[in-house]
Amino acid sequence: MSSPEIASLSWGQMKVKGCSTTYKDCKVWPGGSRTWDWRETGTNHSPGVQPADLEEVVKKGVQTLVIGRGMSEALQVPPSTVDYVKKNGIDVVVLQTEKAVAEYNALAAQGVKVGGVFHSTC
């Protein structure tokens, strides 16, 4: 199963190819996507992305995980979260969201089993 292309990104809106939903924040993995609801794990901009936010995508068998920190990079990604991904044998890339989406799409186009979590505002 391939990772779906992120078809579009603008402030507060993301579309995933083959999916009718417009996301504010989203998780993507080979064969699927869904809303990234911060309330599920109590996530805030600081301390930021928690291992619990990534667990679902990590379990999908991805080789690389791309984290989008927001348009202005307001979303923090603590070293402990990066360590969690690496301990699962997964490469991790943390970038500003527009750059993160470009990196994710490039990897997906190369056939890499890539997953992502993206914040589309601040």
- Please provide the CATH number assigned to the domain covering 6-118: 3.40.1230.10
49 near 42, Cβ under 8 Å? Answer: no
CA distance 7 to 101: 10
pLDDT of residue 18: 94
31 near 81, Cβ under 8 Å? Answer: no
State which H helix or E strand residue 100 sits in: helix 97-109
Task: Give residue 122's pLDDT band: very low, low, confident or very high (50, 70, 90).
Answer: very high
Strand-pair category, 32-35 with 25-29: antiparallel
Span 89-117, average pLDDT: 98
Which tens digits make up the pLDDT trace of 14-70?
999 999 999 999 999 999 999 999 999 999 999 999 999 999 999 999 999 999 999
Q: Tokens standing for 78? A: 């603590």
pLDDT, averaged across the chain: 97
pLDDT of residue 98: 98
pLDDT of residue 112: 98
Cis peptide bond N-terminal to 51, omega within 30: no
pLDDT of residue 108: 98
pLDDT of residue 45: 97
Q: Tokens standing for 73? A: 């990079």
